[in-house]
Amino acid sequence: MTFGVLTCIKSDMYAAPAGPHASLLDVVKKQDHARKRRYMSHVMAIRNLETLENKVTDKNERLLKQFDQISEKSNDSGNQVVDFRKWTNLFTLGAIMDIALSHHLGCSGCSYRLRAYRRPEVAL
């Protein structure tokens, strides 16, 4: 009679996309997987996730405020296209920096303007 649950073994095909530093998803060896899970387990604890909720809420509010400002400007000057990918990238970058490093970049709270820069002429 067998007690317990059998564990699955990952094939080596998971190691191919990993590169030199395997993530928790790419790691093949059970010992490495268990070690990486222990390192990451405290991050996913409910207590820690609850403390991060206000940071994500702040980023959402800033992003929506920017969309409101763009919408107000478009009502004044006609149609304006929102580069949603750019704003979500700024949102993601700001959220990751705030959560992981406790550093506030203010990416989603900044205005975005296109500026033309001239390359200085260099005499050779």
DSSP per-residue letters across the chain = ---S-PPP---GGGTGGGTTS--TTT--SHHHHHHHHHHHHTTTSHHHHHHHHHHHHHHHHHHHHHHHHHHHHHHHHS-----HHHHHHHHHHHHHHHHHH-----GGGS-------PPPP---
Judge if 34 and 64 occupy the same domain. Answer: no
Kindly state whether residues 124 and 64 are assigned to the same domain: yes
Instruction: Kindly report the pTM of this predicted structure.
Output: 0.52
Q: Can you give the pLDDT at residue 114?
A: 44
How much of the chain, in percent, has pLDDT values that exceed 90?
A: 0
Instruction: For residue 17, tell me if it sits in a domain.
Output: yes
Mean pLDDT in order along the chain per 10 residues (124 residues):
65 65 74 84 80 86 86 72 83 82 67 54 65
pLDDT at 19: 64
Domain range enclosing 64: 51-124
pLDDT digits (tens, 9 = 90+) for 56-73: 888 889 888 888 888 887
